[in-house]
Structure 1
Amino acid sequence: MDKSVIRFSHCGRNIYCFSIPERCPQCGVGLGGRRLEEAPVSIPSPFSNGHKALCSFLIAPTEGHFVREFDGGSDLHTGITDTNVVYNYTKTGVRRDEYGWERCISIPLVQPDMYNLINQWDRYLDKFSSAHMWDTQWQFDEEKHNCYNFTLTFINCVLATEHKRALSKDEFTNAFVLPRIKRASKYSVLCREIAENHF
């Protein structure tokens, strides 16, 4: 589902489609020679290719794809990008994925003008992921020792090197993760509805 979602106004309503139809799907009036109430707007997808999102926190469904399977109750997986791969923690330890994160939610962690941090990022992430606490000897635990703990611990390590305060799990989740999950969930519902009903 890589189609763009387009919003236009007609008959006093906002209508969402993958393309402008010949007739208004709500009222049936032809749109050919008639002017729309305002110019159509493309709704940006909340999903991106995580392999192209450098120095970012990524969220993807553990299985499947957001647009088709994400329903707000799906298990999610998190990772951190460097300039080449996505680091993520699983039951088999730290993985460095070169593919598989092509459609995910991406949260940039570094401002583009933070050159010193960007130049050190790969080294920090490689060193962090090689730490003993992330190898297979430690037991993966869904509540205490998981992909989210891996990513948030790394973020807090970087904040410490920048002499900034660490973020609690609740702070990071509420400020950065939940708003993007909600937007992605709404977008997924919108795409499913358009696919089923054409608008």
Structure 2
Amino acid sequence: MAEGGIVRVRHCGAAIFCRRAPARCPACGSPLRGAGLPAAPVRLPGPFRHGHRQPRALLLRPAAGTFLGGYDGRSDLHVGVSSSQGVVYNYDEEGVHRAETGWEQCISIPLVQPDMFGLLQQWDKLLEEFSAGEDWLPHRYDEHDHNCYTYALAFVNSVLTAQGKQQMSKSEFTERFVIPRTKQASRYLTLHQELTAKDFYIVPLPDGENQG
């Protein structure tokens, strides 16, 4: 099933999720055409991006498999940083990899704003020089304390330092940038998994949202 192929309709005080907009409400059987704006089908945007088409971004993907290919929400995620050309720099027990494939379905967190002209030009040089440092040799890898996430955050902080900005702790960066994206992805994955097994997934709306 293609990513982005989830539709939401509101009717009978519920949000109804499906793959294709139904002609009738699966809860009450009444026609949805002409039922008002809340009943109009809305296609939900998928939270996953082709990482090699996301320049200068922090990327997260399952360490094994893909998000839409059976990810259980608990397995480890692998983290990388993309160059201006979509090459994904990532660190593991073998050292730093410069991947041109394998990151086709990711959570993407942009790291550079369009008006940061100097950083846009210097990004690849900074990323390559940082990745060549001794800290990221294979023997320095530690699954818990010196890993792919440590590598990505250390690079982000090196850029902040070069700009004269304050570094971020792991907890601050995770709370501000990572958790909002992973929560969005988790909600989408729940819907995707429900609709793998059934045609409709119906969620009651809070009283304030009961429309249609």
For each residue in 1:68-105, what CA deviation from the matched residue of structure 2 results, as whole angstroms up to 9, or x when unmatched?
A: 33333111100000012000001111000101111110
2:129 corresponds in structure 1 to 127
1:22 aligns with 2:23: yes
- Unaligned residue ranges in structure 2 (runs of 5+): 201-212
Q: Which residue of 2 aligns with 1:58?
A: 59
- Map of 1:35 onto structure 2: 35
**Equivalence map 1:69-148=2 (5 Å):** 69-84=70-85, 85-136=87-138, 138-148=139-149
Deviations 1:115-139 (A, max 9, x none): 1101000000001111111122x23
Unaligned runs of 5+ in 1: none
Q: Give the match for residue 181 of structure 2.
A: 180
One-letter amino acid of the counterpart of residue 128, structure 1: F
In the alignment, the residues of structure 2 paired with residue 173 and residue 70 of structure 1 have an alpha-carbon distance, to the nearest angstrom, of 21
Paired residues of 1:3 and 1:18 also in contact (CA < 8 A): no
Contact 2:59 2:108 in 1 (8 A): yes
Cα-Cα RMSD: 1.5
Deviations 1:44-83 (A, max 9, x none): 1111111111110001000111123333311110000001
Mean CA deviation greater in 10-19 or 185-194: 10-19
User: Is the CA contact 1:5–1:42 (under 8 Å) kept in the aligned structure 2?
Assistant: yes
Superposition TM-score, scaled by structure 2 size:
0.88
Structure number with greater CO (CA < 8 Å, separation at least 6) is 2
Aligned counterparts of 1:129 and 1:139: Cα–Cα separation in 2: 13
Which residue number corresponds to residue 205 of structure 2?
A: none
TM-score by length of 1: 0.93
Q: Does the CA contact (< 8 Å) of 2:4 and 2:44 recur in 1? A: no
Give the fraction of aligned pairs with identical amino acids, expressed as a percent: 47
